[in-house]
Amino acid sequence: MSPAASSDYVRPPRDANLPPASEVISLRIYPIKSCRGIEVKETRLKMSGLDLDRNWMFVDAETMTFLTIRSDPTMTLIDTAVNDKDDTLTISIHGTEDSVTIPAHPKQDWLSSNNTLEKVEIWGEKTDGWTYSNKINDMFSRYFKKPVKLIYKGPTPRPARGNAKKDLSGREVPHMFADLMSVQIASDSSLRDLNRRLKENDYDGQKLTIERFRPNIVIRGNEPWEEDSWKTVQISTADHENQLLWRVNLDVMCRCARCQVPNVNPDTAEKHKHEPWDTLMKFRRVDQGGAAKYKPCFGMLCLPTKEGPIKVGSKFEVNSMTDKHLYNEAKFQDL
């Protein structure tokens, strides 16, 4: 792995029309799709997303179709924890002593010896996945009150969806079990503005945390909602020990059109009947593409173009902007 640049690399002056630089204030991974996430201080951005993000999912054991928090909010009470020293993932049920521990980066020989490669379905599409044994799955079947299976993404590439599909993005994109594409970036500035509006609307719940929106990268942000016009962004991470500066780049493909998952309190799995959906619908129906016409938007969906390490405190910069984002319709080359 070679560095993106040395520490004495000189860059040309930034365009004065671009937003001021910001910083990464949170990095979040969700090892199991729809389950509780983990906040990490540093990680690696791969072409398929942040390391370990949505590499697993649960399926109904009879239909082999994926399970989602959209229909079962209690999935947010399934916790995950990574032990970097042992390179393991521990999965537990919130409020119980039940847990299982599995390899976080399983090797091919381990998967072949312990799991079974099967076809699974996610969003109407077939892909392959490694099914864990009953010894692992029994705990989860008890929790869901029906037979389920834990699945680790198999070797067959899963095509990205929405604005990341090839005819819109212009490239083949590696993809795990995220809904559309590999990375979501959100702005804390926009979250603060939403919380202000909720307070003005006499919202009766707790102040919203960014976890409600399940992003991967959270930046401090400047003006609320300026992310609507991002086109390309860059994250720079200093390695002072080796006097290196790593830069990773992402193409911002589209806004993230929202369902009502943010109405679910991740601490309790209780779903609020109205908020933040109702407030978002009043001012965040900002995209006329596809289903986004009828949904509010929060966060931006992105595809990495350059891999590398990132960490909390990394510098975040917008390299280019556009006013042509159109959900599930706009080609990236036309932005």
Q: What CATH number is associated with residue 298?
A: 2.40.33.20
Please confirm whether the linkage preceding 3 is cis (ω < 30° from 0): no
Instruction: Note if the pTM is more than 0.85.
Output: yes
Angstrom CA distances, 308 to 21, 31, 96, 216, 236, stand at 19, 19, 37, 15, 9
The pLDDT of residue 11: 62
Task: Flag whether 71 is in a domain.
Answer: yes
Whether 116 maps to a domain, the answer reads yes
Q: For the ranges 178-187, 237-246, 270-279, 280-289, which has the lowest average pLDDT?
A: 237-246
pLDDT at res. 8: 44
Residue 1 lies in a domain: no
Indicate whether 185 belongs to any domain.
yes
pLDDT tens-place string over residues 155-180: 998 989 999 999 999 999 888 999 99
Sign of CA dihedral 292, 293, 298, 301: positive
The whole-number pLDDT of residue 10 equals: 52
Give the model confidence (pLDDT) of 109-167 as tens digits.
999 999 999 999 999 999 999 999 999 999 999 999 999 999 999 999 898 999 999 99
Secondary structure of the chain: what % helix, strand, coil (to 5)?
20, 35, 45
Using alpha carbons, select from 106, 92, 95, 68 the residue that is nearest to residue 140: 92
pLDDT tens-digit profile of 175-185?
899 999 999 99
| Residue 275, domain member (yes or no) | yes
How far apart CA 55 and CA 38 sit, in angstroms, is 13
Taking the C-alpha atoms of 37, 43, 46 and 51 in order, what is their torsion angle to the nearest 10 degrees? Answer: -40
152 alpha carbon, distance to own chain's centre: 17
Residue 4 has pLDDT above 70, yes or no: no
Q: How far apart are the first and last CA of the chain?
A: 31
4 lies in a domain? no
Structural domain harbouring 309: 19-334
Number of domains in the chain: 1
7 close to 249: Cβ distance less than 8 angstroms:
no
Q: Is residue 303 part of a domain?
A: yes
Number of residues assigned to the chain: 335
Task: Indicate if the pLDDT at residue 3 is higher than 60.
Answer: no
Classify residue 14: in a domain, yes or no: no
Eight-class DSSP state of 43: E
